[in-house]
Structure 1
């Protein structure tokens, strides 16, 4: 087995631009044979989520990794990171020093799959649609700072913002800002089912069994014009229920690569017992895991209970028992590899300080043990999630300050329950929407927020976040981000636990693997090729 460690910088917010390969869709290889990629992400239509592939509804990493292959955006983050560069556009930029007006000019010759030319009116329609529908999963928050849009009906569009926002170009790189056809997507309602169409690098055909996708086939789009250079003609994405099922398919030669989420045991096995036909690639990761407190519920409404949990949990032990080398402790919502990161939770609470936890609860007049249920999803964040919550339960119960049960629920039910406020304390994960520290703060503390959490920190929402977004030089916002991190540590509406590394296993004849998954866990299938 060949093992690669990708040393690309994962720190963003201070990145300089990196040149990306250009030239449209030329360069595909492999003929008609598809490269087959396995994933444990599931694509399921439910009563609460009838439109899993609609860009105005979808807001999770797994689904976005499907959308990015098919739906084109005005700008995109270049290979290796850096500032957004034009994709569907030929040029984009702020037209004022205040970062309140942003203008783009479309490429000539852009087409939807049916052959219709793409105009600035289509861009305006697509983004207005996302704003009007407000996305039940919270995806609309990414674009909610748009006040008005001007289109010349041909190739030029201008976005006028409600407030200055230097991160706006990054938000336009997300699938929420994908360019859609009014013929395929109704203006006021979601497009249900598993159809997806756009002007991106690939077209998509799904194979569905019941209410779930069992195969997604991406075929090179001959009409694509953008900055991506395809290294293949066809890729098949195949969902698996468990990492073990996915691993068996790789070892048997049924798939060429397995991506998120490999289990810690699989990674350890491939390191300790290498195979000549399998390559393991380690990559920087910006995934975080955290606990969410529903501050409307009586049990955790008192800050002292939330702070006592922060004192009690030992992140080092948690990571060692559940994830091993695949994770490291996290003491802020902003990961340690991001330039504005600080360690406020470590500075204030340390790890496993039971004396201070007991003193705090006693001073607040809270009777112990505090009886709680920790809820988590069984099938969305990887096979080690159960072990993680068993470890959290055992730590909290061993303190005698808490009496904790845990309960696992499938994601299709878990996510709607969380948004409805049916849980007191529950576990969530987060991958960045775009490469800027704002993505670890804005989605949680702006209004509306991704979690539909009742907690509202007025200072963060009305003062610090707007102030940070004024800074075109993101390093100048470090002090403001530090203050926001300190406020979160003081109030504990959320409790960060760990940040992860990424591992991808592939057959040795597959090339481009190190570029196919970036530090934000974005899947770039166009980078994969066959042969050296």
Structure 2
């Protein structure tokens, strides 16, 4: 299993989550919820003002977090997230399928049945063959960029190259028009979560135009694509063959949705504040509030009423390569944990409104199985004295000099400002930190390969769905160490007992039983100081004065566009 880490898009603030697959703890607020009537919300045009998110719209190429909240308006999948605010929004629910799937063979086989009455935007029925074909085309080398799980999980998926040469995946069976069966290499109790990914959107083979499909995709959701200009504009109109009778999750209130990308973050927030013309019915799916607006929230009550707050399951952290000196000594790693001043890190990214200090790798939230722990208690400001004591025990009584690598941009929330805060805290413990900023592309290439990985780096991790598995497996499963690149197990940690526990939890198909096991495993691994959690981001975003039901969806940490309405 490999997961792409979250890349933040907001430039004005540092630590706000993007429209990414994720969840978190409390804090979701529904804009205008008291006057919102889901049975009387149809009409109007919803305007979406974004910095990015329109570079790709092919369901095969969209990562689980890619494209933000917009693809779910066009593409339905076997399952989807429950469209409600709060913790209940962390649950997968049936979408095209009648249920969350029937597992067998210790969760290595999953069977789904499609609902009756499903149609594409041209009126043709949606069949299991369309779902299978949509998945198969996501394996084509011509359509890269999608979530990698199916390549790893499906039998034969690692070598499959897509259907364009006539080959098909035998591990996906469609015995009839409404039934689809998946056969996996290993048990995966999280399969209902994965089935929310856009790769599970049905694609009619007769309408597939390969790399050009992104320009005119066939809709299975409440809206169809009227116009698409990559990186610039997306216009969505109602799909006449969709109805709430076959889709109990998406409200699809607006008649039209007009998305503009390529805008500056400052411009977006200024337009949302002013609310002139069409901007009164505007939201953004990738731009947090700017410093100016954040400063006004305490004194401007009218503006404060147009703010949604929430969280995404993400952790910013200090990562060690435990195979390289000096971090092959646990006492050095523990010293860095004690020396860390989390309050200074939180301040660096904008304060407590935008970040909460972290002592656990798993974010807060029942869905993750979060278990509170602090194996190296040092208070909010760190304990440099304890850190010096441990360094002396490790043979560094006269101090230590290390190099810290990090992205050269603050946009991701773990760049220069966080590096400076870490540098200052370690200095109090006698550690001299030499900064090594790198361009984002170079950073990922270098840090993702064990042979070139720096011993000490700043990192970010956000899960693709709200569960402990996609958080812990890529980072701590020893079988996920990828020598040729794309590696996220930066500690190069390989503990057979941990690997065995991961396998055991993966067989559990009940999230309520799996979650506490993931939390216990996080606490167990945390005692080895393989990384230092720094903070969990918080989301603060504006919406237009005529927008209703603009709550933060905890699965991804942004608005659920499918439930928003305009006056």
TM over 0.5: yes
**Residue 329 (structure 1) shift:** 0.9
Equivalents in 2 of 1:491, 1:464: separation in Å?
16
The corresponding residue for 2:346 is: 319
Is residue 550–residue 560 contact of structure 2 (8 Å, CA) maintained in 1?
no
What does the per-residue CA deviation read over 1:344-373, in whole Å, with 9 as the maximum and x for residues that have no partner?
Answer: 4x2235352323333433443468432313
Equivalents in 2 of 1:468, 1:478: separation in Å?
9
Is residue 122–residue 182 contact of structure 1 (8 Å, CA) maintained in 2?
yes
DSSP 3-state at the match of 1:375: strand
**Residue 408 (structure 1) shift:** 5.8
- TM-aligned CA distance change 1:479 to 1:69, over 3 Å: closer
Is residue 27–residue 229 contact of structure 1 (8 Å, CA) maintained in 2?
no
**Residue 232 (structure 1) shift:** 0.8
1:65 paired with 2:73, answer no
Is residue 94–residue 100 contact of structure 2 (8 Å, CA) maintained in 1?
yes
What does the per-residue CA deviation read over 1:289-338, in whole Å, with 9 as the maximum and x for residues that have no partner?
Answer: 22344557666565555443322212133213423222211112211233
The corresponding residue for 2:240 is: 222
User: TM-score by structure 1 length?
Assistant: 0.78
> RMSD between aligned alpha carbons?
3.8
What does the per-residue CA deviation read over 1:7-37, in whole Å, with 9 as the maximum and x for residues that have no partner?
Answer: xx9559xxxxxxxxxxxx9977334xx3222
**Higher RCO (Cα < 8 Å, 6 or more apart):** 2
1:268 paired with 2:291, answer no
Equivalents in 1 of 2:235, 2:324: separation in Å?
45
The corresponding residue for 1:336 is: 364
- TM-aligned CA distance change 1:60 to 1:280, over 3 Å: same
The corresponding residue for 2:426 is: 396
- TM-aligned CA distance change 1:272 to 1:369, over 3 Å: same
1:385-464 to structure 2, matched below 5 A, reads: 386-407=416-437, 409=439, 411=440, 414-416=443-445, 418-420=447-449, 424=454, 425-446=456-477, 448=480, 451-453=487-489, 455-459=492-496, 462-464=499-501
User: TM-score by structure 2 length?
Assistant: 0.74
The corresponding residue for 1:175 is: 198
Give unmatched runs, 5+ long, in structure 1. Answer: 1-8, 13-24, 45-51
The corresponding residue for 1:378 is: 409
- TM-aligned CA distance change 1:316 to 1:337, over 3 Å: farther
Question: How many pairs are equivalent?
Answer: 493
The corresponding residue for 1:145 is: 153
Give unmatched runs, 5+ long, in structure 2. Answer: 1-22, 27-37, 156-170
Is residue 393–residue 406 contact of structure 1 (8 Å, CA) maintained in 2?
no
Is residue 98–residue 115 contact of structure 2 (8 Å, CA) maintained in 1?
yes
1:468 paired with 2:505, answer yes
What does the per-residue CA deviation read over 1:158-188, in whole Å, with 9 as the maximum and x for residues that have no partner?
Answer: 123333333211111122433334456688x
Residue in structure 2 matching 1:203, options 197, 200, 224 = 224
1:37 paired with 2:28, answer no
**Residue 157 (structure 1) shift:** 0.7
Residue in structure 1 matching 2:314, options 276, 287, 296 = 287
What does the per-residue CA deviation read over 1:493-516, in whole Å, with 9 as the maximum and x for residues that have no partner?
Answer: 4432111222221122111112x6
Equivalents in 1 of 2:317, 2:506: separation in Å?
24
Equivalents in 2 of 1:181, 1:303: separation in Å?
55
Equivalents in 1 of 2:467, 2:195: separation in Å?
13
